[in-house]
Amino acid sequence: MAGGKNKDGTRAARIIDENLKLVYSDLVQEDLPDRFKDLLALLKAQDAETSHDEDKKGRK
Amino acid sequence: MSEPDPRDGLVDHLPALRAFALSLTRNGATADDMVQDTVVKAWTNIDKFKPGTNMRAWLFTILRNTYYSSRRKLNREVADVDGVFAGSVSVKPDHDGRMQLADFKKAFETLPDEQREALVLVGAAGFTYEEAAETCGVAIGTIKSRANRGRARLAELLELEDGGVTELTDNATMAVVAGSPEVNR
């Protein structure tokens, strides 16, 4: 392997992809800001409210 | 028993979605705004998601469409890069004895949007070329050529071309030819 000629820069491509994976997995492992959990909770609460309103309308 | 709500699965994809947003926008605040918009759009349009299909790819598609349409709206030629991508994690020791991860990130940030996107999808996020093409709304060949151009540019910036290797080989060959066990110069 060492010193051997590489076809079409495959060695470079391999190093690049390894680094891409490292960088990306670091980003994935970052702590998720609380705002997203809050947002999902809010969306869920809004939906519950809407369906509750619809139930009321349905009963009228 | 009611059908499982696909919206319950959204939260599992948020870390990957945010990583994709950070690599696309290269700006922490913009990335989080993009993720927020994407979550709201996905939540309210969940009827458009086909259960059993790739939710991550669906979310990535919404996010990139949000990103490109906001860039068009702002008519921005130059993105507002705050270096969050390059600065977000600590510098790792030499990788493969060749390059610092920080150098890699800096070089990656200089690539055009389309090339960064293609490289992240197929090189890091584990998308097939087919999935990446569908996510970006282009042909498979287009994704391949964007990824290849991105890799070629990175190799150039990081001096990973095979030129360096060839040079070493030549010196070694010359040393052998000259009958010397050492490579001088």
ipTM value, please give it: 0.77
Q: What is the DSSP string of B170-183?
A: HHHHHHHHTT-SS-
Rounded alpha-carbon distances, angstroms, from residue B19 to A22, B117, B157: 12, 11, 23
| A59 within a domain of the structure (yes/no) | yes
Structural domains in chain B, CATH included, are: 6-158 (1.20.140.160)
Looking at residue B142, its amino acid is T
Mutation site, B89, B90, B99, B129, interface A, largest A CB count within 10 A: B89
Whether residue A11 is contained in a domain is answered as no
**Is residue A47, in this structure, part of any structural domain at all?**
yes
Q: Across the interface, which of B7, B16, B101 has its CB nearest the CB of A19?
A: B101
Under the banding of pLDDT at 50, 70 and 90, the label for residue B123 is very high
Supply B170's token pair. Answer: 């030549």
Range of the domain at A37: 32-60
Residue B79 near chain A (CB below 8 Å) = no
Phi, psi of A7 (to 5 degrees): -85, 125
Q: Would you say B114 and B22 are in contact if contact means Cβ atoms under 8 Å apart?
A: no
Report the SS3 class of residue B99.
strand
Identity of the residue in B7, B105, B160 whose CB atom sits nearest the CB atom of A12: B160
pLDDT: is B166 or B106 the higher one? Answer: B106
User: How many structural domains comprise chain A?
Assistant: 1
Chain B residues 146-175 within an 8 A CB cutoff of chain A = 151-152, 154-155, 158, 160-162, 165-166, 168-169, 172
DSSP class of residue B158 equals: T
Question: With pLDDT > 90 as the criterion, what percentage of chain B qualifies?
Answer: 63
Q: Residue A39 falls within a domain, yes or no?
A: yes
Residue B120 clears pLDDT 50, i.e. is over it: yes
Q: Is residue A13 part of a domain?
A: no
Residue that wins the pLDDT comparison between A4 and B32: B32
Evaluate whether residue A5 is within a structural domain: no
User: What number is the average pLDDT over the span B27-49?
Assistant: 96
